[in-house]
Amino acid sequence: MIIYFNGRLVSAAEAVLTPVDHGFLYGHGLFETMRAYHGRVFKFKEHINRLKAAADFLGWPKLPPYAELSDAITSVLNDNQLTNASVRLTCSRGQGTPRPDPGSCGQPAIAVFASPLPPPLPPAGWSVTTVAFRRNLSSPLVKIKSANYLDNILAKQEAKAKGAEEALMLNTDGFVAEGSMSNLFMASEGRLITPDIYSGILPGITRSTIIELAKAAGIIVEERQVRPEELADADEIFLTSSIMEVIPVKMLDGCPVGKSQTAGRGYFTVKLIQLYRELTAKE
């Protein structure tokens, strides 16, 4: 595997991070997971904007410019002979003293690697289960894609232990937030509804794209607080993420989604899967 690491293309074995890097010591890091279609990352600018906004929020030194990161991704894809792939860009705060003082750190360490996509979704979609972990509304960790993913990992682990593919996390006010690695939408009474950005969600790039596509197709979209009971009555539920795109949800907490036999794969889900596919093929 060829990796971009701090400005150079190296083998995975050569990409070595010191144990006094604050990403390793304190989880002080950021990342983006992007999807490449035909050798190009979809919504590259949006991903890098989110990353740079998070780095600014944390008071990091400037990250490399867009063109350098874009070239790094292209080289990594080419050198690993991948065109449709998952692309991971990880930034670690860098080497510093062993104390949690980021002021002691030098430049962030930056790694880009690409890997094959996960297997396609089962046609009926995923089962989702509500987990005990809540998205903490007062924590910055829910708004930025920090390398501290313990909440998400534990939520996913809990979902898997309950036989589901994804977790549904509520927030500390008891409203619906998001999946452990995805945003959530539901369709009800002819509208598309998704938790707003104050609900303790990562502002997903796929979420924004789906909202734009839905609005352009004349669908009414509501971004607002969502009560968990509303999901039980929803006609359709789906999840979104850059890698998995649009994921139909067939079961929520052991109950089939929607009243029809389509098990969640209803009009809105099918339509938006199609529109998203068309867009990724075009851009």
Q: Which of residues 146-185 bind ligand PMP (CB under 6 A)?
A: 152, 178, 181-183
Nearer to ligand PMP, 94 or 145 (CB): 145
Q: Does 188 bind ligand PMP (CB under 6 A)?
A: no
CB of 44 to ligand PMP, least distance (A): 12
What amino acid occupies position 210?
Answer: I
Q: Does 205 bind ligand PMP (CB under 6 A)?
A: yes
d(CA 63, CA 69): 9
Nearer to ligand PMP, 22 or 207 (CB): 207
CB of 10 to ligand PMP, least distance (A): 26
Binding range to ligand PMP, per CB under 6 A, among 7-15, 16-24, 76-84, 202-210: 202-210
Q: Give me Rg for the CA atoms of the chain.
A: 19
Q: Which of 241, 249, 258, 266 binds ligand PMP (CB under 6 A)?
A: 241
3-state helix, strand and coil shares in percent for the chain, rounded to the nearest 5: 30, 30, 40
* Collapsed DSSP state (helix, strand, coil) of residue 180: coil
Nearer to ligand PMP, 178 or 235 (CB): 178
Helix (H) or strand (E) holding 245: strand 245-252
Packing angle between helix 205-216 and helix 44-57, nearest 10 degrees?
130
Nearer to ligand PMP, 111 or 201 (CB): 201
Q: Are 237 and 268 in contact (CB under 8 A)?
A: no
* Collapsed DSSP state (helix, strand, coil) of residue 67: helix
The footprint of ligand PMP on this chain (CB under 6 A) covers a number of residues equal to 14
* Collapsed DSSP state (helix, strand, coil) of residue 129: strand
Q: Does 250 bind ligand PMP (CB under 6 A)?
A: no
Q: Where along the sequence are the contacts to ligand PMP (CB under 6 A)?
A: 33, 152, 178, 181-183, 202, 204-207, 240-242
